[in-house]
């Protein structure tokens, strides 16, 4: 089968949401620019794409567009200053990412939903399969999550969604799938064929405990499906509803990926990710661990 299936070369990063859960920090800046330790969320997502072999990046921007564009652009002034001060390591860190990617931007003028944001990338993506990454879902894994999804895509040649088991009482925050396991690479508990999808169901209506996480491999016919999709939950054009449309014409698969996912678009999730990522850093981990040990955790709130 491999060989006939078109290669995924592009990744779309929707970054035009309002980020209301993180106000006021996100009033003038997209939440995708919030830093985990010292790198903005979107950079973690872009590095995941690069490590999965994808270098063509499309970013869908809304407010705070300039912060994202400047971040991935060359900063002559800053580079000159770092060079003249002999800070070669910092200079390399600043340069590395803009050297590695080819990035294009498209604007979503109004936050009309994730499906609408993806649709804005139609002309830049064209008739090719592509990845979509919601960079407020930060995934720490041995093999990059996108790479894991690509392996399934390269076998089936259809859309593949990242899935995670979620406790019932939290399921209403997610898109949820009804799905049947399929045998893949000798395993029968990681890859699923999706029967139905529903956006943010009530716990009693959820078809399973398998939630969709912000990583997708999509075929270009998803654009036509989204064009045929009207506003759904919250008056927004939902990607989940678009995929439901697509299901009429072709199969969609899901992968229970290996790794830990942090919801960094949520305050508590963001704090957890910050602690975990800081503890893992060679330059900070030891001191930070020592500091955490000294924190009086049973102190009553002020
Ligand atoms: P979220 O569901 O997290 O919504 O979007 P949000 O508006 O960004 O944040 P909250 O819930 O108000 O705090 C998931 C992803 O889809 C993008 C967001 O930027 C985020 O990456 N998105 C969402 C858009 O690009 N446009 C939209 O209209 C909606």
Q: Which atom of ligand 1 is nearest to the CA of 266?
A: 13
Within a domain: 187: yes
> Ligand 1: distance of its center to the CA of 92 in Å?
31
Q: Is the CB of 66 under 6 A from ligand 1?
A: no
Which 3 state secondary structure label does DSSP give 256?
strand
Within a domain: 294: no
Compute how many other C-beta atoms are within 10 angstroms of the C-beta atom of residue 170: 12
Backbone φ and ψ of 245, nearest 5°: -60, -45
Within a domain: 203: yes
CA count, 13 A, side-chain hemisphere, 218? 31
Q: For residue 127, give its domain range.
A: 10-285
Ligand 1: which of 114, 173, 264 to mutate, most ligand atoms within 8 Å of CB? 114
Nearest CA to ligand 1 atom 1: 17
Nearest CA to ligand 1 atom 22: 17
Q: For 135, which DSSP code?
A: T
Tokens standing for 186?
Answer: 């000798």
Q: Which atom of ligand 1 is nearest to the CA of 135?
A: 21
Q: Is the CB of 264 under 6 A from ligand 1?
A: no
pLDDT score of 75: 82
> Ligand 1: distance of its center to the CA of 76 in Å?
32
pLDDT score of 3: 56
Within a domain: 302: no
Is 0.85 surpassed by the pTM of this model? yes
How many domains is the chain partitioned into structurally?
1
What's the distance, Cα to Cα, between the start and end of the chain in Å? 62
Nearest to 243 by CA among 135, 140, 162, 172: 162
- Say if CB 55 and CB 106 are below 8 A apart: no
Tens-digit pLDDT string for the chain (302 aa): 445 899 999 999 999 999 999 999 998 889 999 999 999 999 999 999 999 999 999 999 997 778 999 898 888 888 888 889 888 888 888 888 777 788 999 999 999 999 999 999 999 999 999 999 999 999 999 999 999 999 999 999 999 999 999 999 999 999 999 999 999 888 889 999 999 999 999 999 999 999 999 999 999 999 999 999 988 888 899 999 999 999 999 999 999 999 999 999 999 999 999 999 999 999 999 999 999 999 988 876 66
Q: Which CATH number characterizes residue 276's domain?
A: 3.90.550.10
Within a domain: 15: yes
pLDDT score of 132: 98
- Say if CB 255 and CB 162 are below 8 A apart: yes
Kindly tell me the burial class for residue 247, based on how many C-beta atoms sit within 10 Å of its own C-beta (0-12, 13-18, 19 or more): middle
- Say if CB 160 and CB 8 are below 8 A apart: no
Within a domain: 129: yes
- Say if CB 90 and CB 42 are below 8 A apart: no
Within a domain: 290: no
- Say if CB 175 and CB 215 are below 8 A apart: no
Within a domain: 75: yes
- C-alpha distances (whole Å) from 95 to each of 42, 52, 87, 247 are 16, 20, 12, 42
Nearest CA to ligand 1 atom 9: 19
């Amino acid at each position: 089968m491999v060989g006939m299936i078109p290669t995924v070369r592009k990744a779309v990063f929707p970054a035009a949401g309002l980020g209301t859960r993180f106000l006021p920090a996100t009033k003038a800046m997209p939440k995708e620019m919030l830093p985990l330790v010292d790198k903005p969320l979107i950079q973690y997502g872009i590095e995941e794409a690069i490590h999965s072999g994808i270098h063509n990046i499309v970013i869908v921007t809304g407010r705070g567009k300039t912060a994202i564009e400047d971040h991935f652009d060359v900063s002559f002034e800053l580079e000159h200053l770092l060079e003249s001060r002999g800070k070669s390591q910092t200079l390399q860190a600043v340069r590395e990412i803009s050297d590695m990617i080819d990035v294009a931007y498209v604007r979503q003028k109004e936050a009309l939903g994730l499906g609408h944001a993806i649709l804005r990338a139609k002309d830049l993506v064209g008739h090719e399969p592509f990845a979509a990454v919601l960079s407020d879902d930060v995934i720490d894994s041995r093999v990059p999550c996108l790479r894991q999804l690509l392996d399934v895509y390269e076998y089936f040649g259809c859309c593949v969604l990242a899935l995670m088991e979620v406790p019932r009482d939290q399921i209403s925050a997610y898109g949820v799938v009804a799905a049947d396991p399929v045998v893949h690479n000798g395993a029968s508990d990681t890859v699923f064929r999706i029967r139905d999808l529903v956006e943010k169901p009530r716990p009693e209506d959820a078809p399973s405990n398998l939630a969709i996480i912000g990583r997708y491999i999509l075929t270009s016919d998803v654009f036509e499906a989204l064009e045929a999709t009207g506003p759904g939950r919250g008056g927004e054009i939902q990607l989940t509803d678009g995929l439901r449309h697509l299901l009429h014409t072709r199969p969609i698969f899901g992968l229970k990926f290996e790794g830990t996912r942090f919801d960094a678009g949520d305050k508590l999730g963001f704090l957890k990710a910050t602690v975990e990522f800081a503890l893992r850093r060679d330059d900070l981990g030891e001191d930070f661990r020592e500091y955490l040990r000294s924190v009086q955790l049973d102190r009553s709130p002020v």
